[in-house]
Amino acid sequence: MRLSARVESVILPIAAVLIALAIGAVLIALDGASPWTAYTALLDGSVGGPDSIARTLERATPLIFTGLAVIVGMKAGLFNIGAQGQLLTGAVFAAWVGYRFSLPAIVHVPLAIVVGGLCGLLPAALAGVLKAYRGAHEVITTIMLNAILVSLTEWIVGARGPFHDPDAGAISRTPLVRETADIPRIDVYPLGFFLGVLVAFAIWFLFGRTTTGFKLTTVGQNKFAAEYGGISAARITVLAMALSGFLAGVGGSIETLGVFGRFESGRNVGLGFDGITVALLARIHPLLAIPSALLLGVLRAGQTQMAFESKVAPEIIDVILAIILLLVCAPIVVRWILRLRKGTTGAESLQLTSGWGAS
């Protein structure tokens, strides 16, 4: 069966998720548990009531931002794999602004979010500068910066760090942010999720309706043609990485201010890398990052209850997510399973990066 590229771009991610869930069911059965019980508990823990739905939205919120961060980079032909470190940096400095300063809420919350975004922007912009002017590949530089930023944030909130909560003992965390820095909720639902939705629409508008978005996309498609047309590929590269890092930092800020109320080491593990799954599952479309993040939010929010009720290892969710990522990155496997021919138009797969050693 032959499908158009537009229809195929919708069917392939959905098929990848369903196939991954089917493989997960087989693994659960091999572990001696009931797939029906496991998946029922998963849904009950993620969408079984207002509190469960709120928990799912909390898990999805930072994933929207890290997914958008990766999408912005990919649109410009870049692969920002450093969203994890950028998110952590934004989260810890947003917490610092949240507990250190006494300000009116109308100023305190936006200030903490912006500071967190800027702290995510700086290391990403550095990687952009190294890419644009020295030819250093962004995958390598952002991986290295990840290691630096993770260690830096752990030291900052550690027992001898400047942001350490004096009442926490050996626990690596900051003090609670002030009430004026708390992001409010709509009933039990986190306001941060709805801010993420608005940002997704803003990024969609940026790429679809603005000159800057056109320049970003043009450089991503062919930087040499962009240079011939008068667009500075170097400046656009730095801009794309800076915007990507800002989004990741904002995601960390909103999680700190709207979910935990402080930064604690170990609570944000993997969010930046899950953002890559969100971006690929969304086929680098900003609006599709919302349902993609919600899907991962459902899996993460219901993970504990699934493990408790079905007696399976919670890591099965990580296996399912890994299979989803594999199938999305290798659509030829899904086509073979579904007996689909290549679409009549469009590329075979997503271009994640502009190439090793490219300047």
Per the domain annotation, does 181 fall within a domain?
A: yes
**pLDDT on residue 335:** 72
Helices (H), the chain: 5-30, 35-47, 50-75, 83-100, 105-134, 138-157, 191-209, 211-221, 223-228, 233-255, 271-281, 289-301, 303-310, 316-329, 331-338
Higher pLDDT, 288 or 341: 288
The answer to whether position 291 is within a domain reads yes
Q: In which band, very low, low, confident or very high, does the pLDDT at 357 lie, cut at 50, 70 and 90? A: very low
Domain membership flag for residue 318: no
Q: Is residue 212 part of a domain?
A: yes
Query: At 96, phi and psi to the nearest 5?
Result: -60, -45
Q: What is the pLDDT of residue 345?
A: 43
The CA distance from 347 to 330, in Å, is: 13
Inside any domain, residue 176: yes
Q: What is the pLDDT of residues 231-290, one digit of tens each?
A: 999 999 999 999 999 999 999 999 999 999 999 988 888 888 899 999 999 989 999 999
- pLDDT tens for residues 327-336? 888 777 777 7
Whether residue 57 is predicted with pLDDT greater than 80 in this model: the reply is yes
The structure tokens 């290295």 sit at 144
The mean pLDDT of 50-69, rounded to a whole number, is 95
347 has a pLDDT exceeding 50? no
Instruction: State the pLDDT at residue 343.
Output: 54
Number of domains in the chain: 1
Q: pLDDT-based confidence at 169, cuts 50/70/90?
A: confident
Residue 239, domain member (yes or no): yes
The mean pLDDT of 304-313, rounded to a whole number, is: 90
How much is the pTM? 0.90
Q: How large is the average pLDDT for residues 58-71? A: 96
Domain limits at 211?
62-302
Q: Would you say residue 80 lies in a domain?
A: yes
Averaged confidence pLDDT in the chain:
89
What is the pLDDT at residue 356?
A: 45
Q: Exposed, middle or buried by CB within 10 Å (0-12, 13-18, 19+), for 78?
A: buried
In a domain, 52, yes or no: no
